[in-house]
Amino acid sequence: MALAAELWGWAWDQDNPVHRMHVRRLIIVGLASAIAVAATPHFLSLYPYPFETQGSEAQQRLIVEWASPNFHNLELRPFEGMIFLVVVGFALKRPSMFDLLLALLGIGLALQNVRNIALFVVAVTPVLINTYGGWWTEYTAAHNWKFELPPRPVFAVITAVVLLVIVGTTSLRVSSAISPARQAQLDASNYPVGAADWLEAHPEVGTRMFNQYGFGGYLAYRFYPQPNRRVFIFGEAALMGDSLLNEYADVYYVRSDWKKVLDKYGVDYVVENRGDPLPNLLATQPDWTLVYQDKVAVIYVRKTPG
């Protein structure tokens, strides 16, 4: 994108040597980055990875973080506000080609997938600073406004106080969030900690698991490499492939072939969110037994014939 902006500027101002210098540097950096990507154990397979993810119909349809933003959610109001700030800023001051492309790309990605909002914020914040800073400079100059900073010692004290407040607030916030007790509380309220403890206490139960998508990473962390505790699916959806994701969805949403999928993989126990469609249905099935439940998860075990 930066290269495209510089090429555009060079095409319109061919006499300016700065554009040519920037294009040359960007090409060198781009080639070096491409070589660095290949210098990994994955070699060339990393190049198509982002495009495979964006082009995965199953991921876009089934995984919440790949959905478009729901602007009815209150927590997305700041994101909405930043979009308006970009529009107003570009109306006040004409942006550079790079700032324009960066803002358009950031907005496009964020509107496509909610997980890209963080990238949008990182990309657009300097654009807003450049735009409004440049506009304010022009506006004050046109009105002959002059602003003087306070004396240097006073300004240093003010800056130090502001930095101390920021550092102190951030430190308190982070320290409370990363304390072992707080982390254990968060784990227990979001992951199947109790269900995993039960499975650990009953190693003889089950040979093939079906698990909820969001539980996969935690269960793999707890039980890998135990063969009878291998997860059915986990958070690296690109590694799973669309075929497995679609089969998972058929079971999770109890579509017509849900039993066939479980039989295909020989699933004999299920670790699921409490209240999800599948455990609610299993509660009505005579060949499945509830062996564990808490506020987060349930475990159903298939009864053996005879």
Burial class (CB in 10 A: 0-12, 13-18, 19+), 60: middle
**Measured between alpha carbons, how far is 236 from 63 in angstroms, rounded to an integer?**
11
Least confident of 7-11, 44-48, 241-245: 7-11
List the beta bridge partners of residue 211. 271
DSSP secondary structure, the chain, as one string? -HHHHHHHHHHH-TT-HHHHHHHHHHHHHHHHHHHHHHSSTTGGGGSSHHHHHHT-HHHHHH-GGGSPP-TTSGGGHHHHHHHHHHHHHHHHSPPPHHHHHHHHHHHHHHHH-GGGHHHHHHHHHHHHHHHHHHHHHHHHHHTT----PPPHHHHHHHHHHHHHHHHHHHHHHHHHHSSHHHHHHHHHHHS-HHHHHHHHH-TTS-SSEEE-GGGHHHHHHHHTT-GGG--S--S-HHHH-HHHHHHHHHHHTT-TTHHHHHHHTT--EEEEETTSHHHHHHTT-TTEEEEEE-SSEEEEEEPPP-
Arithmetic mean of pLDDT, 167-178? 84
Q: Above 70 in pLDDT, residue 12?
A: no
Highest mean pLDDT pick, 27-36, 64-73, 270-279: 270-279
pLDDT score at 90: 96
pLDDT score at 62: 81
pLDDT score at 306: 52
**Measured between alpha carbons, how far is 184 from 241 in angstroms, rounded to an integer?**
32
Residue 213: C-alpha distances to residues 82, 181, 222, 236 (Å): 32, 26, 15, 10
Instruction: With cut-offs at 50, 70 and 90, classify the pLDDT of residue 133.
Output: very high
- Nearest to 83, CA basis, from 119, 118, 124: 124
- Map out the domains of the chain as residue ranges: 2-142, 148-178, 190-302
Count the Cβ atoms, other than its own, within 10 Å of residue 277. Answer: 15
**Measured between alpha carbons, how far is 196 from 202 in angstroms, rounded to an integer?**
10
Instruction: With cut-offs at 50, 70 and 90, classify the pLDDT of residue 92.
Output: very high
pTM over 0.85: no
Query: Omega into 225 within 30° of 0, i.e. cis?
Result: yes
Least confident of 39-53, 88-102, 228-242: 39-53
Distance, first Cα to last Cα, the chain: 65
Instruction: With cut-offs at 50, 70 and 90, classify the pLDDT of residue 176.
Output: confident
Mean pLDDT of the chain, nearest integer: 89
Q: Rg of the chain over CA atoms, in angstroms?
A: 27
**Measured between alpha carbons, how far is 174 from 194 in angstroms, rounded to an integer?**
26
69 touches 117 (CB < 8 A): yes
pLDDT score at 181: 81
Return the sign of the alpha-carbon dihedral for residues 123, 88, 76, 242: negative
